Amino acid sequence: MTITDLTSMGEPQADARAEINDRLKRLQDHASDYCYQCAKCTSGCEAHKLLELEPHKIVALLKRGLITELVNSDVIWTCMTCMKCRERCPQQVAPIEILFAAKNLAVQSGKELPGKYTAMLQSILGTGLLQEVQTVTTAANATMTRDQLGLPPLSVPSDVAKFQASIMAIAMQKP
């Protein structure tokens, strides 16, 4: 006996659902099962107004166990991390944390990283930081660097090779 979503022929994936829930419980101490679909999260969602993210639906998909649909959807990458959903949920569910878990799963399952994420990851690997030191323009259109402004040198990982090795090791592990 099972339940089938007739629009996608998807079926609830109990194990994947349990895995995400377990992680949320462990890290954020949140349980999505208590969501009663009041949609307060979506009413205030900063991303919803511009893109199509519906946090209450994210929670519903997780509760239903339709993890493949959740993980494959592009919309999970549109969260602005404003955290209003988590802040105001009357059931103390944290849709934003479900989104993080879903994105992690997507990456883990080999989905290509959208936008600049790959570049950011590479930069961290290479320099320890999200980006290299930038030359900036002043209001008067002059260019300035960190050194010219008299700021001390950047602080970066001392042994880059070891730093990189650790990150690579983590990338191989389950989150």
Asked if 126 is part of the footprint of another protein (rule: CB under 8 A), the reply reads no
Choices 2-10, 12-20, 65-73, 146-154 (CB under 8 A): range interacting with another protein: 146-154
Residue 74, number of CB atoms within 10 A of its CB: 11
Residues 20-39 that bind another protein (CB under 8 A): 26-27, 29, 34, 36-39
User: Quick one: 11 or 38, whose CB is closer to another protein?
Assistant: 38
159 binds, among ligand SF4, another protein, none (CB under 5 to 8 A by kind): another protein
| CA distance linking residue 38 with residue 45, whole number of Å | 13
| CA distance linking residue 70 with residue 13, whole number of Å | 11
Q: Which residues contact 59 (CB under 8 A, 6 or more apart)?
A: 32, 35, 37, 41, 93, 95, 98
Among 28, 72, 91, 164, binds ligand SF4 (CB under 6 A): 91
Asked if 100 is part of the footprint of another protein (rule: CB under 8 A), the reply reads yes
| CA distance linking residue 29 with residue 21, whole number of Å | 10
Among 13, 32, 42, 73, binds another protein (CB under 8 A): 42
- Which residues make beta-bridge pairs with 5? 10
Residues 145-164 that bind ligand SF4 (CB under 6 A): none
Asked if 134 is part of the footprint of another protein (rule: CB under 8 A), the reply reads yes
Contact 107, 77 (CB under 8 A): no
Asked if 175 is part of the footprint of another protein (rule: CB under 8 A), the reply reads yes
Among 16, 20, 24, 47, binds ligand SF4 (CB under 6 A): 47
Q: Which residues contact 70 (CB under 8 A, 6 or more apart)?
A: 58, 61, 62, 76, 102
List of residues contacting ligand SF4 (CB under 6 A): 35-41, 45-47, 53, 55-56, 59, 79-85, 89-91, 93, 95-96, 99
